[in-house]
């Protein structure tokens, strides 16, 4: 027997065919929903000695010319409510990736099962909340600023993983105490930082009451790969007899640990967020401490906001013990290059969000970046001699959901 639906093309036919195959359960409309989000963003920096990036997955950034690459993105999500307790979710996002393209990525492909009103499970490709709200960092419409604070979120570009998650909450003193645990494998590729195919453990505990929310989050990633850029350096050190240094660059099996504490206050007029974070790398990469504060006040459709953030890296000494002259000079230089990845600085953010029509906002923002040692290179690309770590980034963004 031929299924007529298999001969049709287009999303509506697909939805209709699937609806015929699965039992419908929903209040009123179809159990299928198709939703989307996106941002059309433009940004430029006043300092052309380095390109400013949104996070370390991006191969290029913005300098003195206006560019849309770092913030422009689009996502599409399909939900199917199978029954009272079970929902299937598939999501794809097109954003500026490590390879310089906007090739869409499968960012969600999961089944959510509500065991009870207090406990749910998710299995499949799920969002990863390594820092508070980082699982929705691509949904610009959901937050005040043009992009999540780069000092704080920029060095952790982990957005999804394949695994299983459990979330449990219990009412407590008019508020809600919530715990979450996720175990899985990361999938996002980066040339310099081999996070993909690594074992990931995330856990969090939080308490929400009235206008307040407090969260503590812990995550750890056990690296599975040596890294395309770092493995040859480690191999060279091994061949040169610099075993201790080679071990420091052998990332396989090393563990990165992430701790953060966050507080949010939102009374409808004021929205205030503050968070502190610590990243500890077991091997060569520098440890990092960062914090940010953001406050916005709503005046009708307009919400001006101001924020301040700071990030500090702690340098690690990895002596190779091999001569600095040829033929080892390039090896020493490579080690110095890797150990020098760091971020030191502060950012003052001023901007406004305008909710000028339903499900659409327009944002303007200026980031005054400076402080630190003036040699930050982790969150910049194409750094030229003379880079002093100071720049002003101007951004415009139009966010939408549907």
Select the span of 15-23, 220-228, 237-245, 352-360 touching another protein (CB under 8 A): 352-360
Q: Which is nearer to another protein, 160 or 341 (CB)?
A: 160
Select the span of 10-18, 61-69, 126-134, 390-398 touching another protein (CB under 8 A): 126-134
* Min CB(287)–another protein separation in Å: 28
Angle between helices 231-239 and 329-339 (to 10 degrees): 140
* Min CB(383)–another protein separation in Å: 34
Q: Which is nearer to another protein, 81 or 376 (CB)?
A: 81
The angle subtended at Cα 89 by Cα 76 and Cα 97, nearest 5°, is 45
User: Under the criterion CB under 8 A, does residue 389 sit at the interface with another protein?
Assistant: no
* Min CB(139)–another protein separation in Å: 5
* Min CB(145)–another protein separation in Å: 12
Distance, CA of 326 to CA of 338 (rounded, Å): 19
User: Under the criterion CB under 8 A, does residue 34 sit at the interface with another protein?
Assistant: no
Q: Which is nearer to another protein, 138 or 153 (CB)?
A: 138
User: Under the criterion CB under 8 A, does residue 71 sit at the interface with another protein?
Assistant: no
70, two tokens: 């770092």
| Cβ contacts of 209 within 8 Å, gap of 6 or more | 173, 174, 175, 176
Alpha helices in 240-357, H assignment, sequence order: 243-248, 329-339
How many C-alpha atoms does 91 have within 13 Å on its Cβ side? 26
Select the span of 87-95, 193-201, 225-233, 366-374 touching another protein (CB under 8 A): 87-95
Q: Which is nearer to another protein, 93 or 311 (CB)?
A: 93
* Min CB(84)–another protein separation in Å: 9
Q: How far is CA 157 from the centre of its chain?
A: 4
Complete DSSP assignment for 75-110: EEEEEEE-SSSEEEEEEEEE---TTSS---EEEEEE
Q: Which of 142, 244, 324, 382 binds another protein (CB under 8 A)?
A: 142
User: Under the criterion CB under 8 A, does residue 305 sit at the interface with another protein?
Assistant: no
User: Under the criterion CB under 8 A, does residue 37 sit at the interface with another protein?
Assistant: yes
Select the span of 47-55, 330-338, 355-363, 375-383 touching another protein (CB under 8 A): 355-363
Alpha helices in 174-328, H assignment, sequence order: 231-239, 243-248
CA distances from 282 to 28, 127, 276, 279, 321 (A): 53, 25, 20, 10, 21
* Min CB(400)–another protein separation in Å: 10
189, two tokens: 């590729």
Q: Which of 175, 232, 304, 371 binds another protein (CB under 8 A)?
A: 175
Q: Whose CA is closest to 61, among 293, 387, 400, 399?
A: 387
User: Under the criterion CB under 8 A, does residue 283 sit at the interface with another protein?
Assistant: no
Q: Which is nearer to another protein, 92 or 252 (CB)?
A: 92
| Cβ contacts of 191 within 8 Å, gap of 6 or more | 98, 227, 228, 229
73, two tokens: 């993105």
Determine how many CB atoms are found less than 10 A away from the CB of residue 51. Answer: 24
Query: Which positions from 237 to 276 touch another protein by CB under 8 A, shown as an x/- string?
Result: ------------------------------xxx-------
User: Under the criterion CB under 8 A, does residue 179 sit at the interface with another protein?
Assistant: no
Distance, CA of 356 to CA of 271 (rounded, Å): 19
* SS3 state of residue 150: helix
User: Under the criterion CB under 8 A, does residue 86 sit at the interface with another protein?
Assistant: no
Q: Which of 77, 83, 203, 247 binds another protein (CB under 8 A)?
A: 77
Q: Which of 208, 238, 247, 289 binds another protein (CB under 8 A)?
A: 208
Burial class (CB in 10 A: 0-12, 13-18, 19+), 255: middle
User: Under the criterion CB under 8 A, does residue 215 sit at the interface with another protein?
Assistant: no
User: Under the criterion CB under 8 A, does residue 301 sit at the interface with another protein?
Assistant: yes
Q: Which of 46, 60, 136, 278 binds another protein (CB under 8 A)?
A: 136
Distance, CA of 110 to CA of 172 (rounded, Å): 30
- Interaction site with another protein (CB under 8 A): 26-28, 35, 37, 75, 77, 87, 89, 91, 108, 110, 112, 116-118, 120, 122, 126-127, 129, 133, 135-136, 138-139, 141-143, 167, 169-171, 174-176, 178, 208-210, 267-269, 298, 301, 355, 358-359, 361, 401
């Amino acid at each position: 027997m031929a299924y007529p639906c298999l001969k049709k093309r287009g999303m509506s036919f697909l939805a209709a065919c699937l609806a015929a195959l699965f039992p419908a359960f929903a209040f009123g409309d179809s159990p299928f929903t198709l939703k989307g989000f996106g941002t059309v963003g433009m940004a430029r920096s006043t300092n052309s000695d380095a390109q400013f990036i949104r996070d370390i997955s991006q191969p290029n950034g913005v300098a003195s010319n206006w560019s849309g690459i770092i913030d422009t993105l689009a996502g599409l999500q399909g939900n199917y409510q199978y029954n009272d307790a079970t929902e299937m979710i598939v999501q794809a996002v097109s954003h500026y990736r490590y390879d310089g393209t906007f090739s869409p990525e499968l960012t969600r492909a999961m089944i959510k099962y509500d065991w009870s009103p207090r406990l749910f499970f998710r299995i499949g490709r799920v969002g990863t909340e390594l820092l508070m709200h980082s699982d929705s960092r691509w949904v610009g419409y959901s937050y005040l600023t043009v992009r999540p604070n780069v000092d704080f979120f920029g060095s952790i570009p982990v957005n999804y993983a394949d695994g299983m998650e459990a979330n449990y909450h219990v009412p407590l003193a008019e508020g809600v105490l919530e715990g979450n645990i996720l175990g899985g494998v990361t999938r996002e590729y980066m040339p310099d930082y081999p996070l993909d195919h690594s074992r990931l453990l995330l856990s969090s505990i939080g308490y929400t009451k009235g206008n307040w929310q407090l969260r503590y989050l812990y995550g750890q990633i056990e690296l599975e790969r040596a890294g395309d850029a770092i493995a040859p350096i480690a191999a060279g050190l091994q061949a040169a007899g610099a075993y201790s240094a080679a071990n420091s660059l052998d990332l396989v099996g090393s563990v990165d640990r992430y701790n953060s504490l966050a507080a949010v206050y939102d009374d409808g007029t004021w929205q205030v967020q503050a968070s502190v974070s610590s990243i500890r790398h077991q091997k060569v990469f520098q440890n990092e401490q960062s914090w940010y504060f953001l406050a916005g006040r709503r005046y009708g459709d307009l919400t001006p906001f101001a924020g301040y953030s700071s990030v500090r890296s702690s340098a690690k000494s990895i002596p190779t013990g091999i001569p600095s002259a040829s033929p080892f000079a390039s090896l020493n230089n490579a080690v110095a290059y890797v150990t020098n990845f760091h971020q030191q600085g502060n950012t003052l953010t001023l901007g406004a969000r305008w909710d000028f029509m339903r499900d659409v906002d327009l944002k303007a923002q200026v980031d005054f970046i400076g402080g630190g040692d003036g040699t930050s290179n982790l969150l910049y690309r194409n750094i030229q001699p003379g880079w002093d770590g100071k720049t002003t980034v101007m951004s415009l963004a139009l966010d939408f959901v549907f």
